[in-house]
């Protein structure tokens, strides 16, 4: 576990730029897999595809990955639980229910889907919080997680009901594809909208990266070290939820990123969030970029992104479990 030196920062930056730039050459137009530089220069339509579709999508994928990984780190550290992500707290469940509501009952416009997804993601957190306050069992962290599980289950039943009610020809395919996740319709407008919400949120989380370590301690220890831990927790949780709902609005349900990427980051640079959070951001960005590149390139049709992230994420998770390295790293 070496120190992150100035030299290694430049190496990470160079590799990042190379991979981001390399993704521009991947796609299925005008031919499968690789788009030649000559095509980009000579063919106006290819230029349009690259400039108007691929580049905003690549940026959106990278930001989405960063947000999910950063939020996962925040949730895991604040809840002192290395196996939670946005799926807890009712955030993802609320967003899925909201989007389903937008598709089935509100006409399925982009604004309806995104608006209701964001609204119910925040409501999911709110419900979980209110229920946790009223539960008379266990400590605050346990109560919040139990409340989040209950709220997620309620939203899941609501989503199931909406699927049952959806028009099987018109609404159900759209609903199913949204629930499976994907970045197929992303435009520059979408990317700029995501960036406007998510980049400030990522900056806030990054600024608090060292303090995340403090917030992972026991309540009485936090109390003896931190002047106002409740405010810091609320700020970071709200920031993570707002950023998550912003990307879930556009990308649908993209699972496992927030769970697995923080683990891999901790394996690589250690558990100190001062180092693990920046590593999570970069890894999350590239993990989602890799999955999205595969999603839009491998087959003639789009592979839903959530399927790929879940398949790869679950495999990595099992790998970590079988190596006994999920919670503890050899010293």
Per CB under 8 A, the list member of 88, 208, 286, 287 interacting with another protein is 208
By CB under 8 A, residue 2 contacts another protein:
no
In angstroms, what is the minimal distance from the CB of 81 to another protein?
7
Q: Is residue 185 classed as helix, strand or coil in its secondary structure?
A: coil
Task: Rule CB under 8 A: say whether 169 interacts with another protein.
Answer: no
Q: Kindly indicate which of the ranges 91-99, 161-169, 184-192, 212-220 contains the residues binding another protein, using the contact rule CB under 8 A.
A: 212-220
**Interaction between residue 233 and another protein (CB under 8 A):** no
Distance CA 93, CA 82 (A): 20
Helices (H) and strands (E) in the chain, counts: 15, 2
Instruction: Tell me how far apart the alpha carbons of residues 127 and 147 are, in angstroms, rounded to a whole number.
Output: 8
C-beta of 157 vs 218, nearer to another protein: 218
187 binds another protein (CB under 8 A): no
CA pair distance 134, 233, nearest whole angstrom:
19
Considering the rule CB under 8 A, would residue 210 count as an interface residue with another protein?
A: yes
Distance of CA 86 to the CA centre of its chain: 8
User: What's the closest the beta carbon of residue 205 comes to another protein, in angstroms?
Assistant: 12
Mask of contacts with another protein, 74-103, x by CB under 8 A?
---x--xxx---------------------
Binds another protein by CB under 8 A, chosen from 44, 207, 300, 322: 207
Is residue 228 part of the contact set for another protein (CB under 8 A)?
Answer: yes
Q: Please state whether 324 falls in left (phi above 0), alpha (psi between -120 and 50) or beta.
A: left
Q: Does 274 bind another protein (CB under 8 A)?
A: yes
Written as six digits, the tokens of 19 are 């991979």
Size of the site for another protein (CB under 8 A): 33
Comparing CB distances to another protein, the nearer of 109 and 323 is 323
Distance CA(233)–CA(267), nearest Å, equals: 25
Cβ-based burial of 33 (10 A; exposed 0-12, middle 13-18, buried ≥19)? exposed
What is the spatial distance between Cα 47 and Cα 182, in angstroms, rounded to a whole number? 23
From residue 130, alpha-carbon distances to 28, 133, 135, 239 in Å are 48, 5, 9, 18
State the nearest-atom distance from the C-beta of 325 to another protein, in Å.
10
Backbone angles phi, psi at 118, to 5 degrees: -65, -45
Using the minimum distance from each CB to another protein, give the nearer residue, 52 or 218. 218
Binding site for another protein (CB under 8 A): 1, 77, 80-82, 207-208, 210-211, 213-214, 216-221, 223-228, 266, 270-272, 274, 327-331
């Amino acid at each position: 576990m070496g120190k992150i030196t100035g030299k290694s920062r430049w190496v990470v930056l160079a590799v990042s730029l190379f991979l981001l730039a390399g993704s521009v050459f991947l796609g299925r137009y005008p031919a499968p897999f690789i788009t030649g530089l000559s095509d980009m220069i000579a063919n106006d339509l290819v230029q349009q595809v690259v400039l108007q579709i691929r580049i905003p999508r690549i940026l959106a994928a990278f930001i989405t990955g960063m947000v999910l990984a950063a939020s996962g780190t925040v949730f895991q550290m604040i809840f002192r639980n290395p196996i939670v992500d946005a799926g807890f707290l009712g955030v993802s469940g609320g967003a899925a229910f909201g989007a389903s509501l937008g598709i089935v009952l509100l006409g399925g416009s982009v604004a309806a889907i995104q608006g209701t997804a964001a609204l119910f993601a925040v409501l999911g957190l709110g419900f979980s919080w209110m229920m946790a306050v009223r539960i008379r069992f266990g400590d605050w962290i346990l109560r919040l997680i139990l409340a989040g599980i209950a709220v997620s289950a309620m939203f899941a039943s609501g989503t199931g009901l909406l699927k049952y009610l959806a028009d099987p020809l018109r609404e159900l395919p759209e609903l199913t594809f949204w629930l499976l996740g994907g970045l197929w319709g992303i435009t520059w407008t979408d990317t700029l909208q995501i960036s406007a919400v998510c980049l400030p949120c990522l900056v806030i989380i990054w600024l608090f990266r060292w303090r995340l370590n403090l917030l992972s301690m026991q309540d009485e220890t936090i109390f003896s070290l931190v002047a106002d831990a409740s405010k810091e927790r609320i700020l970071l949780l709200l920031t993570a939820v707002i950023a998550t709902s912003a990307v879930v609005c556009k990308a649908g349900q993209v699972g496992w990123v927030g769970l697995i990427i923080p683990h891999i980051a901790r394996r690589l640079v250690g558990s100190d969030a001062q180092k693990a959070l920046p590593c999570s951001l970069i890894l999350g960005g590239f993990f989602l970029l890799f999955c999205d590149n595969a999603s839009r390139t491998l087959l003639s049709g789009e592979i839903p992104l959530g399927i790929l992230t879940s398949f790869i994420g679950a495999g990595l998770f099992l790998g970590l479990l079988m190596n006994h390295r999920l919670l503890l790293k050899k010293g």
